[in-house]
């Protein structure tokens, strides 16, 4: 058995030993876990994981490599990835590089050989907390000192949002959508393009006048990392534009819409991350299997004093998964209807947005 060369240390002193892959760098992040069985490329390229290190509960990662068509962002900002078994010899005719090569190119560390079942239980029981990935020779006390002195950055939307507007056009467009980029996933844009929308993606701090000048048929509020209360610019934008255009929000966009209407948000113990969360749609009575990635949730009691109505709830912990204000033509969901590679139960939400732009 070869000797360990990397380890992770959590801020409460827990240590796990393993082998490095990807970039050979030290990093400190918030540790979280994801229960998806597939989709590690979409996870490591999702901007919502900025300053987070992700434990994959599925035991084998890397077996189908990385493909050029499946990125969720051009510049990944995930803090690191922790897996049980890493496969560096992919079997997939579409793959263009290995996961380790992709991580190394983008200066992202990985570690494998970890008991991810034990680690996931620790996160579930004790909650998310700070973690350092470091060399095996780093002393525990030294690692704990670094963790104590490090503060995970706030206001991270400004880091991942585009710096200037850009466009994603489609053939025979019917609608013009302005997407406010708080860390937008590319498959959201693909989903809008596929439904006949030209999409103009604008920075998170774009003001209402500039958006109005673009003459949108509808406005989309994207997912993104961090505390929704930090994104004051977008909260104020919703306050100005609600009722003037159809507005659709996903994940962070859902939380921002709720805050703009006067509701409150709170941080979950360990968040929701994975492609297997059951959500009840109150309008249809159906249970949707959803993909999720968030640390914060909307406080249901605080919605009572707003014009928003709860439309969806999580079956596992009863958290709010969707809200709507019909008179303002605004709605949002906490989960990801564009999720790739799946599940795809909730694609109808994009059609609902299209129908609002149609005036139906």
Residue 336: active-site member: yes
Q: Quickly tell me which residue has 């002393």 as its tokens.
A: 139
Which residue in 11, 72, 104, 338 is the catalytic one? 338
Ramachandran sector of residue 62 (left: φ over 0; alpha: ψ -120 to 50; beta: rest): left
Contact between 41 and 149 under an 8 Å Cβ cutoff? The reply is no
Distance CA(337)–CA(349), nearest Å, equals: 7
Name the nearest CA neighbour of 217 among 195, 232, 234: 195
Say which residues have a Cβ less than 8 Å from residue 120's Cβ, sequence separation at least 6: 33, 55, 57
Residue 251: active-site member: yes
Strand partners, 248: 220, 331
Name the nearest CA neighbour of 192 among 207, 208, 174: 174
Which residue in 251, 294, 312, 324 is the catalytic one? 251
**In Å, how far are 28, 89, 100, 316 from 103, measured between CA atoms?**
16, 15, 5, 33
Q: Quickly tell me which residue has 């499946």 as its tokens.
A: 70
Give catalytic residues, as residue numbers.
251, 336, 338
């Amino acid at each position: 058995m070869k000797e360990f060369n990397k380890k992770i240390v959590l801020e409460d002193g827990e240590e796990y030993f393993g082998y490095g892959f990807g970039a050979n760098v030290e990093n400190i992040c918030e540790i979280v876990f994801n229960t998806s069985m597939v989709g590690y490329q979409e996870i490591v390229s999702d901007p919502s994981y900025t300053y987070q290190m992700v434990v994959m509960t599925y035991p084998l990662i890397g077996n189908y490599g990385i493909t050029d068509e499946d990125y969720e962002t051009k510049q990944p900002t995930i803090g690191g990835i922790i897996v049980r078994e890493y496969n560096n010899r992919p079997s997939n005719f579409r793959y263009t590089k290995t996961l380790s090569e992709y991580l190394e190119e983008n200066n992202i560390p990985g570690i494998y050989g970890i008991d991810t079942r034990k680690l996931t239980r620790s996160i579930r029981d004790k909650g998310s907390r700070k973690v350092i990935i470091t060399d095996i020779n780093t002393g525990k006390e030294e690692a704990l000192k670094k963790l104590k002195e490090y503060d995970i950055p706030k206001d991270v939307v400004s880091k991942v949002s585009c710096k200037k507007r850009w466009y994603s056009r489609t053939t025979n467009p019917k609608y013009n959508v302005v997407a406010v980029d708080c860390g937008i996933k590319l498959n959201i844009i693909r989903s809008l393009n596929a439904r006949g929308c030209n999409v103009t993606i604008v920075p998170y701090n774009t003001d209402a006048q500039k958006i109005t000048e673009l003459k949108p048929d509808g406005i989309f509020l994207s997912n993104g990392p961090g505390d929704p209360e930090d994104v004051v610019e977008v909260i104020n934008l919703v306050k100005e534009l609600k009722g003037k255009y159809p507005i659709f929000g996903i994940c962070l966009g859902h939380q921002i819409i709720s805050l703009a209407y006067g509701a409150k948000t709170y941080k979950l113990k360990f968040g929701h991350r994975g492609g297997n969360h059951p959500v009840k749609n109150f309008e249809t009575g159906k249970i949707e299997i959803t993909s999720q990635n968030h640390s914060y949730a909307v406080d249901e009691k605080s919605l009572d004093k707003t014009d928003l109505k709860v439309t969806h709830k999580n079956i596992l912990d009863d958290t709010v998964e969707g809200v709507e204000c019909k008179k303002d033509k605004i709605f949002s969901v906490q989960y990801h209807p564009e999720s790739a590679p799946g599940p795809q139960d909730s694609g109808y939400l994009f059609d609902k947005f299209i129908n609002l732009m149609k005036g139906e």
